[in-house]
Amino acid sequence: MLGLKDVIPIGKLASCRVCDVIEDHYQYLQWLVSKGLIKLDPQAEEAISDYITAEAAARYYDEEIAPYMPNYHESQRYKDMFHDVPY
C-alpha cells in the first residue's frame, strides 16, 4: 500500500513519489489502482479526490460563473493574483 511520500514501483512514473505526480498524472494513478497494479492508502486516495474536486470547481467557476460577472474581462488581468486562495 503506497502513501503520499512513497515511491511508485512500476510504470512510467516508477521512482516518482505519489505526492509529486498527483497534479499531473492522477488519471494514470487511478488506472494503476483499477488494474490492481498498485494500492493506495486512504490518505493518498483522499488527496487525489481532493485534487479532482478542486480542479472541477475551478473549471466550473471559469466556464459557468466568471463570464457572467461584471467586469469579467478586466478581472482576467488579475486571474493569477489570488491563485493560492482556496475560495
Query: What's the number of domains the chain is made of?
Result: 1
- How confident is the model over 8-45, as pLDDT tens digits? 999 999 999 999 999 999 999 999 999 999 999 999 99
pLDDT score for 74: 63
DSSP 35: T
Residue 34 placed within a domain: yes
Residue 78 placed within a domain: no
Owning domain of residue 64: 1-69
Residue 87 placed within a domain: no
Residue 15 placed within a domain: yes
Residue 44 placed within a domain: yes
Residue 84 placed within a domain: no
Residue 14 placed within a domain: yes
3-state secondary structure of 39: coil
Residue 81 placed within a domain: no
- How confident is the model over 70-79, as pLDDT tens digits? 766 665 666 6
Residues 29 and 38: their CA atoms lie apart, in Å, by 8
